[in-house]
Structure 1
Amino acid sequence: MKYLFLLGTALAVSTPVMAQDVIEIADLRRPDNDRTDITVTATREPTPITQVGQSVSVVTRAEIERMQATTATDVLARIPGVSTVQSGGFGQPASVFVRGAENAQSLVLLDGVRINDPGDVGGGFDFGALPIGQFDRVEVVRGSSGVLWGSRAIGSVINFITARPTEQWTARGQAEYGWRDRKQASVSAAGLVGPVGLTLGGNWLKGDGFSAFNERRGATEKDGFESKSANARASIEFAPGLSADAGGFYTKASYDYDDTGADAPNLGHKRDTLGYANLRYEGLDGRLNARVGYGINDTNRSSYTAAYGPYGLYESNGRTERFEGQVSFAPVEQASILVGGETEKQKFDDNYGAKDSTSTDSLFGNLTLRPFHALTLNGGVRYDDNADYGDRTTFSANGAWVIGEGVDAPVVRASYGEGFKAPSLYQIHTNIGYNALRPETSKGWDAGIEMPFAQGTGRFTVTYFDRKTRNLIDYVTIDPVNFTGAYFNVDRARSQGAELGMQVTGWQGFDVNLAFTYLDAKDRDSGTRLARRPRTNLYASIDKAWNMGLRLGADVSVGGGRYDDIANMQYVSGNAVVGLRGAFAVTDNVEVYGRIENLFDEHYELVRTYGTPGRSAYAGIRVKM
């Protein structure tokens, strides 16, 4: 019965056509169905999707609510080319692998400001404690974006975007309750106070959780969690074309965790504080745009491992400060140029005496040509000068060609990009007395076609990608008796594969999403598969809405087997997880909803020995004004 259900769901979502690249921006279409979908992350400026040669996925607020997502990983796991793993429940370490790239090889942004943690082992971002309730939109650019975004943007750029105010005040609130006493509440509002535009939001999430060490292996304790976060943004126009904005984001999470292959009374805490400010100018009838900005990201991480007694506390602090400026100018309709410069300073310290800092100065430029209306070509170059690892020049090129006219015209895309990632401060300090590391570098390309259908309500996309990475950094044990080691450039990797996707939005009351990825990610020296990357990954969902206000939906996630270690000695089997959901609009402004996750109580692991949720149910209410 279980597998008949899975097969039926897959057939149902495959019926309209085969698949799509999940460019989920239907909410931005004009009433006349003209293709005016916009992305910001791909080019650092608002750009129609049809003029972007890279693979871009956008998830809107409407889609977040429809899937009843509560965390960032809930959203990202539904995108082609993306796989996620978490060492237990909410608050536990979570990694996102985009096209096989390491978690630390993805640049993570909040409203365009970097939130990667300089105190993280690889300088990456831990997605484990990031709720999604405060965000209005998520954009993911797959493939290298190193020319425009710099170090760490080897695998992707992921941008979480909050709402922007309009002349009419809007507000929404949400509360839900469910399995193991999990409670969540979120609120947000946006509008004008005189000449000032304001956006405010907050989120609270708390629950008993489940054991990080797999309960089906004998664990009995629950690893609970609590998260509190808030965001704010203000903008004002001083004069025609001259404006400023500033904002911030704060989150604090605490959680219990296990890390010894058994129940353990360990405690963890995370605190992230982000602030930014921008001064903007627009002139010459929109042909000239300039911006100067400042951003700061301050993080604190602490963990207490009970087995080590008074020596079990580890605390680290990281800070990134960044000044940047950019100017774009379109002398003619067929051409535009973007140039910019950045300077970034990072600091890191911990309670064991580690203390280090570094800086990077960068210049970049991008030329856009439109030789005729349907063709857009982009080419860019970047120069980075790192205080510890010298300079590096990277290049990129991409193009998009719309074949024909109208909303059903196919789009052919292709891109080439190079990436550069300097070693993290944690890795640098750990290596004192051993060896000098070299930066990780990459070269990759992709090509694909997008086939719209059903008057623009549906899109099918197939994309092939290939990326080679050199000088991958990994930890190597030097003294197994005293458990000491260092980081070395040990690997060359290659990730290649294909992404298929389909999305249908509002077609006769149906919303359909299908995302399938085939990934061949290997160490080029040993021939082994990269750890924790499944060879195949499938997500499929279907929702049906009726005029009475009722909406019902189902989804299935099928993850292939993976190895938990680079030596390919520890294999983790694949899984198939089914969910059901429903919502009913009581009034135009009030909606009640509920869902069942892991309907068939699938027993599985994503990280060896770490638990995943069993069958669970949640119910909630949303209010909009």
Structure 2
Amino acid sequence: MNTSISKTYLLILSALASIPAMAEVTQLNDVVVTATRIAQPLREVVGDVTVLDREAIAAQGNSSLQEVLSRQPGIQISNLGGPGKSTSVYLRGANNSQTLVLIDGVNFGSATLGGASLQNIPLDQIERVEILRGPAASLYGSGAIGGVIQIFTRQGDAKSSAEIGYGNHNTIDAKATLAGGDDATRYSITAAHFKTDGVNAIVNPKNSNYNPDQDGYENNSLSLAAQHKINTQHAFGVSALGAWGENHYDGSISNSAYKPVAQSYDYRDKSFNGSANVWSKNQWNDIWTSHFKAGTSIDEGRNYTPFSATNYQDKVSKIKTQQTLLSWVNDVSILGGTVQVGAETLGQKVTSDTDYSVNHRRINSVLAAYLVTVSDVTLQLNGRSDDNSQYGRNNTGTLGLAWQMNDDWSLGTTMGTAFKAPSFNDLYWPGSGNPNVKPEESNSKEVFVRFANNRFQSSLTVYENKVTNLIEWAPTPSGLWQPSNIGTAQLGGATLTADWQYAGYIAGASYDYLDAKDTSAGANKGRQLARRAKHAGVVYVGLETPVWMARVEMQAQGQRFDDAANKKVLAGYALTNLAASYQIDKDWSLHARVNNLFNRDYQMATDYGNLGINGIVSVRWQPK
């Protein structure tokens, strides 16, 4: 690791080691599956994982998945103009397309752009979010260079509930869940509606796309899930999610003199994002359990622009990515631990107005893992081979070790490789795609130390991730822009977290140091990667009682740059947020949240607006 990262690590480690034990030991009972594909207690995971369950998400009164992610350790985001606008997630400094997003275990995102439309996944339909930081291609294949964000939708064990909220900017947030069943069979259906007038997406009058209007967003969604236990050994289930969105934004087109015009047109896009799967879990004997999943996901968009500089009728362009997954994974309890072997096949198809010379591909994969604990040491080994019909095979692996030094303290390390497949745009964009472009690759290592008991949990993770074969678009001698593997980057940093709770009082903080820099040959060598701050963090305090809850938090980001040359500066900012709830009676509760309490003016991207002070008040019904 470089000198600056090592100094930061030593400084924070010294501070962490000085924190005293605050209570007797109890086992943390959160169970996580994303880190190994094997269900295990969060405390035993060899890796850097955050688990956000429905209760934690609902208690904070967030309105969007974007809000939730922006406050998590190791994550920075950029947003282009408010609710529903294009949002990029930088997990440990990796590019947006280098974080793999799963919905109920099924790959989700665009095969043309490479990223996932997280802004269109309604928070109301989410039961749980698991964030795995660090390369995980040996578990899930392409895309997991920065890590994995897995979204679990409402399942058959949900409870009936209803909620409606209203906030400024004419924001309406309503949802209802109907759930029922018995010990053998459970079901749930959730419908949700979110609508807001938003803010002006572009706030700089000098920007060629500027139009002084409000750019709203609407999302309607429906999910359903059911599961049935045949007996204690065998179960199966289904789940599905559909979200229909409409987003308005600022734009322009060029006239015959190449000047931007038509700013007053109502630029908008309509989207459909969804996922569905069927699954079974079968325990065949005392040592062998198998998991089967068949699923599909859709990322579909229709973009509306003027037909021409003089004709403002709607011109509609369409694009759709569908991914279809078949997965069979087996856990066998042998060799003192768990051996996992499996096979998957993932099909990706693009349907578009753009005429791609190749519009589909298939990735066939085999995977194997070994997870074992001997005395106080846990060993995790993962290996995977992915054969892509477009460009061939990629092999990846991970090695992890953790030592439980005593009841409270643990120490560990992981190292692994990962890759990101080139997108359909990279390979086959008409006239400029490059079918010879290769996957992006990474090599990572990290160390961590943790403290955990029933009142206080803290962790420090230091990491370094070298990314090579970065795909960059650049002009050729003929003037044509074309992608090629010319980029390299180094993503290093440290993440420190601490959470405390006692007699209803809660407090915590997280701090991220990120040294994400371009190491490619050329003028930008050594420059900071765009829209990534070196310093970011969150601090919160609160009080929870059986009747009411109050919480105040501050989230801050340091200075960033909006371009690769580091010429456009994005100033740092700090936002103060409040959340509160009151239990009116056993079934009814009142909730409120205020974001950006002091109405700070800030930008995540040059010229793009963000919400000033904003809030929402809601009433929730949930029978106990």
Give the alignment's TM-score, normalised by structure 1.
0.88
Give the Cα separation in 1 of the matches to 2:162 and 2:300: 29
Indicate the residue corresponding to 2:278 in structure 1.
Answer: 277
2:161 aligned with 1:172: yes
The verdict on how the C-alpha distance between 1:311 and 1:387 changes in structure 2, with shifts beyond 3 A counting, is farther
Q: Secondary structure at the match of 2:511?
A: strand
Q: Distance in 2 between matches of 1:214 and 1:378?
A: 50
Matched, 1:514 2:517: no
Between the aligned partners of 2:16 and 2:621, the Cα distance in structure 1 is 36
SS in 1 for 2:88: strand
Structure 1 residue 75 and structure 2 residue 75: aligned? no
Question: Residue 352 of structure 2 aligns with which residue?
Answer: 350
SS at match of 2:359: strand
What's the Cα RMSD here? 2.5
Q: Deviations over 1:1-24 (max 9, x none)?
A: xxxxxxxxxxxxx9xx9699xxxx
Give the Cα separation in 2 of the matches to 1:239 and 1:58.
29
Give the Cα–Cα distance (whole angstroms) in 2 for the partners of residues 62 and 485 of structure 1.
48
SS of residue in 2 equivalent to 1:154: coil
C-alpha contact 1:143 1:154 (8 A) present in aligned 2? yes
Which residue, out of 221, 225, 248, partners 2:217?
225
> What's the secondary structure of 1:185's corresponding residue?
strand
Q: Which residue of 1 aligns with 2:445?
A: 445
Deviation digits for residues 520-568 of structure 1, max 9, x if unmatched?
A: 0011122211111111111111111245x22222111111111111122
User: What displacement does 1:624 show?
Assistant: 1.0
Paired letter, 2:548: L
The aligned amino acid for 1:444 is: S
Contact 1:431 / 1:486 at 8 angstroms: preserved in 2?
no
Residue 500 of structure 1 pairs with residue 496 of structure 2 = yes
Specify the alignment match of 1:316 in structure 2. 319
2:135 is aligned with 1:133: no
Partner of 2:89 in structure 1?
96
Q: Which position in structure 2 is the counterpart of 1:87? A: 80
Conservation of the 8 A alpha-carbon contact between 2:292 and 2:327? yes
TM-score normalised to the size of structure 2? 0.89
1:368 aligns with 2:357: no
Structure 1 CA distance, aligned partners of 2:540 and 2:471? 37
Tell me the amino acid that sits aligned with residue 128 of structure 2.
R
Deviation at 1:213, TM superposition (A): 0.5
Shift of 1:200: 1.9
Match of 2:255? none
Task: Describe the shift of the 1:211–1:480 C-alpha distance in structure 2 as closer, same or farther (beyond 3 A).
Answer: farther
> Which one-letter code corresponds to 1:515 in the other structure?
S
Is the 1:50–1:402 contact (alpha carbons within 8 Å) kept by the matching residues of 2? no
Task: Say whether the 8 Å CA contact 2:122–2:243 is kept in structure 1.
Answer: no
Question: Is the contact between residue 90 and residue 129 of structure 1 (CA under 8 Å) also seen in structure 2?
Answer: no
Which is bigger in relative contact order (C-alpha 8 A, separation at least 6)?
1
For structure 1, the 5+ residue unaligned runs are 1-13, 21-30
Q: CA deviation at 1:195?
A: 3.9
Q: Distance in 1 between matches of 2:411 and 2:514?
A: 22
1:423 aligns with 2:422: yes
- Residues 253 and 269 of structure 1 are in contact (CA less than 8 Å); yes or no, is this contact kept in structure 2? yes
Q: What residue number does 1:192 align with?
A: 181
How far apart are 1:478 and its partner, in Å?
4.8
Deviation at 1:63, TM superposition (A): 1.6
Tell me if structure 1 keeps the 8 A contact 2:25–2:454.
no
Work out the CA distance in 1 between the residues paired with 2:134 and 2:220: 32
- Quick one: structure 1 residues 264 and 401, their matched pair in 2 at CA, closer, same or farther if it must change by over 3 Å? farther
Indicate conservation of the 8 Å contact 2:155/2:226, yes or no. Answer: no
Look up the SS of the partner of 2:230 in the other structure: strand
CA–CA separation in structure 1 for the residues paired with 2:217 and 2:98: 27
For the pair 1:572 / 2:564, whether they are aligned, the reply is no
| Matched residue, 2:337 | 335
* Cα distance between partner residues in 2 of 1:461 and 1:89: 32
Match of 1:245 in 2: 237
Residue-by-residue CA offset, 1:82-114 (whole Å, 9 max, x unaligned)? 011110112210011100011111111112222
Q: Secondary structure at the match of 2:123?
A: coil
Give CA-to-partner distance per residue, 1:216-274, whole Å, 9 cap, x none: 87752000111011111111233442222111110110010124597652111110132
Distance between the aligned counterparts of 1:501 and 1:19, measured in 2? Answer: 13
In structure 2, relative to structure 1, the CA distance for the partners of 1:264 and 1:569 (3 Å cut) is: farther
What's the % identity of the aligned pairs?
24
1:234 and 2:220 equivalent?
no
Deviation for aligned residue 1:72: 0.8
SS in 1 for 2:363: strand
Aligned to 2:539: 540
**What is the match of residue 552 of structure 1?**
550
Deviation digits for residues 438-479 of structure 1, max 9, x if unmatched? 101111111111112xx5122111110100011111222459
Measured in 1, the distance between the counterparts of 2:184 and 2:372 equals 37
Contact in 2 for aligned 1:134/1:201 (Cα 8 Å): yes
Q: Give the structure 2 partner of residue 11 of structure 1.
A: none
* Structure 2 CA distance for aligned equivalents of residues 427 and 458 of structure 1: 47
2:142 matches 1:151 = yes
Shift of 1:480: 10
Question: What amino acid does structure 1 have at the position aligned with 2:461?
Answer: T
Question: 2:169 is paired with a residue of what secondary structure?
Answer: helix
3-state SS of paired residue (2:97): helix
Give the letter for the 1:450 counterpart: R
Query: Who is 1:9 aligned against?
Result: none
Code of the aligned partner of 1:395? G
Q: Any idea what the Cα deviations from partners look like across 1:41-85, whole Å, max 9, x if unmatched?
A: 111121122332110001122221222111111111111110111
Structure-1 separation of matches of 2:302 and 2:387:
32
Contact 2:427 2:433 (C-alpha < 8 Å) held by counterparts: no
On the 8 A contact 2:138/2:382 being kept in 1, the answer is: yes
| SS at 2:198 equivalent | coil
- Aligned residue type for 1:207: T
Partner of 2:582: 584
Report the residue type matching 1:230 in the other structure.
L
**1:610 offset after TM fit, Å?**
0.4
- Determine whether 1:106 maps to 2:117: no
Give the whole-Å Cα distance in 1 for the aligned partners of 2:508 and 2:69.
13
Equivalent in the alignment of 2:380: 378
Show CA shifts across 1:338-358 (max 9, x none): 011111111113113235111
CA contact (8 A) 1:78 1:515 kept: no
Q: Which residue of 2 aligns with 1:3?
A: none
- Deviation per CA, 1:458-508, whole angstroms, max 9, x where unpaired? 211111010001111122245998xx5222223101100110111224x12
